[in-house]
Amino acid sequence: MLVNLWLCMFIMYLIGNLIFVSKHKHLLIVLLSLEFIVLSIFFFLVMYLTYLENSMYMLMVFLVFSVCEGALGLSILVSMIRSHGNDYFQSFNLL
């Protein structure tokens, strides 16, 4: 049972990375794939820390950083849509 959970979390992580690498046209899809990767890492940390019977203090720190990352990504998305009108990376000129 425990091996199936580890395998499920690893597959979640790989799928999130696959989506992050392959779907690079829209900023929203990239942000969603990053959140999916963070969620799989969070599940991994929960399982790992409960297996070691360790304190869950690091989970709170991880959640704080992941929420800050999500808020920063959404603010970038909103500012990009307001300035350029869409979230395509092709219309965003980096120069």
In terms of residue numbers, what domain contains 61? 27-95
Q: Residue 11 domain-assigned?
A: no
Q: Residue 18 domain-assigned?
A: no
pLDDT digits (tens, 9 = 90+) for 71-92: 998 998 888 888 878 777 676 6
Which pTM does this prediction carry? 0.82
- Indicate which CATH number applies to the domain containing 80: 1.10.287.3510
Q: How far, in Å, are 36, 44, 76, 89 from residue 20 at the CA level?
A: 10, 19, 17, 14
Q: What's the number of domains the chain is made of?
A: 1
pLDDT greater than 60 at residue 95: no
Q: What is the CA radius of gyration of the chain?
A: 16
Q: Residue 31 domain-assigned?
A: yes
Alpha helices in 1-95 (DSSP H): 2-22, 27-52, 57-84
Q: Residue 74 domain-assigned?
A: yes
- Which residues, at least 6 apart from 67, have a Cβ–Cβ distance to it below 8 Å? none
Q: Residue 2 domain-assigned?
A: no
pLDDT digits (tens, 9 = 90+) for 8-56: 888 989 998 998 888 777 888 888 899 999 999 998 888 888 888 878 8
Report helix angle 2-22 to 27-52, nearest 10: 160
Q: Residue 78 domain-assigned?
A: yes
